[in-house]
Structure 1
């Protein structure tokens, strides 16, 4: 399938998620996965602002990217933070400039195999609610078309999170975003439970959780809670 065909499919897929009770966490994971697919980067992640104004790692395509994002937030250093604070994309930074501007971040991402990173804001007009991070093993440069596509995907997802009612009702926005953050904690716990009980890696554990959630139209947080409680096993998730 051509890139244009894949892009059309992705936007239809995102539009299909814009229902009354959409799963914010699922949308964000979908966004990271489709960016990797369309932009030919190696991994992607998202940090999101919570209702108290703090930042949390909310979604990532790999466990390693999740670790990098947590490191960034703990050390207050990295392109995604600067992107969130300014609301401007930070892209095509050379490795040498990255070392100069964010030495701890660069060392951490390089140690996990990533040499190039880019960051795009999740924003609607002047409101920035998070940032999306791209990671590549090699020195990858994004062209104008890539950047426009990545920002378009980020914008669609931001609109999905904000929605019309949340734009006008801040309490609903805060509740929706906080729900996504709380869900992420449950999902991380469930991944750990599955990995430990059934001797699988955390990526496979999340694949099981996500697949079951989408097949049965059950929120990820609910699936995670059932796994933690022991009422769902890998065998159940695989059916």
Structure 2
């Protein structure tokens, strides 16, 4: 058992919970929110955690364990200074032992002290060797909250979180691609129905029917799918039905009667 001691939750339990999130959280945002809550529980009393990433070249907080963490994060973005911004930009671990006396980033120090930050720890989150985010832990109770033991716990957790984040992003990307494929095949199905109708009406080939469909689409500034849906609906008297041409296959159950 790792770091089984009085301070913070057992690290083994926390690391196991990270990977369980991949099974329980269907969306990446939900996964990251729960991840932030787990990270906050690394120390006792729990810290606040914000996860920063870069969007359109600018840092932003994607999730946080509570509003205070997000507020501390946000105060660093306008000026481009502060521990979480530095960790995101450099891939370095940044510890602030005593926020009131730390000489770095004077503007941020004023902001953080006003919000009650006493100490903090920012750790990079890397995916395939690239820094894609920073996990920021803020303690509002005492200076030096992230001693050697707690820092080691946080660094171990960040490594596991980065691995889990890689898998979560891959799942999201695969789901997006699957959705795009399903949409494309559904569109193709409706267009094929319209082509068949035109072939019968105009007594033409499939290529000629598709050319007629495309010409009407361009001349009327309509999507090809819209034109096809209207043709099918006009002939059938009901909205176009999208054929189930693509399905996710599951392992078939064994039929004892076979």
TM-score (norm 1): 0.60
| Structure 1: gaps of 5 or more residues | 177-239
Note if 1:46 corresponds to 2:46: no
Richer in helix (by share): 1
> How far apart are the structure 2 equivalents of 1:85 and 1:119?
12
Change (3 A) 1:23 1:3: farther
Q: CA deviation at 1:161?
A: 2.3
Alignment match, 1:67:
71
Question: CA separation of 1:124/1:147 partners in 2, compared to 1, >3 Å: closer, same or farther?
Answer: farther
Deviations 1:171-217 (A, max 9, x none): 939x79xxxxxxxxxxxxxxxxxxxxxxxxxxxxxxxxxxxxxxxxx
**Alpha carbons of 1:134 and 1:22: their partners in 2 closer, same or farther (altered >3 Å)?**
same
**1:15/1:111 Cα in 2 relative to 1: closer, same or farther (>3 Å)?**
same
Q: Does 1:129 align with 2:132?
A: yes
Contact 2:125–2:162 (8 Å) recurs in 1: yes
> What is the aligned partner in structure 1 of residue 143 from structure 2?
139
Larger Rg: 2
Q: Deviations over 1:147-192 (max 9, x none)?
A: 222122222222222229849xxx939x79xxxxxxxxxxxxxxxx
Distance in 2 (alpha carbons) for counterparts of 1:165 and 1:80:
21
Aligned length: 169
In the alignment, which of 159, 164, 178 is matched to residue 163 of structure 2?
159
TM-aligned CA distance change 1:8 to 1:25, over 3 Å? same
Q: TM-score, normalised by structure 2?
A: 0.56
Higher relative contact order (CA 8 A, sep 6+): 1
Give the superposition deviation at 1:64.
2.1
CA distance in 1, matches of 2:113, 2:82: 13
Please tell me whether the aligned partners of residues 125 and 135 of structure 2 are also in contact (alpha carbons under 8 angstroms).
yes
- Root-mean-square deviation (CA, aligned residues, Å) is 3.1
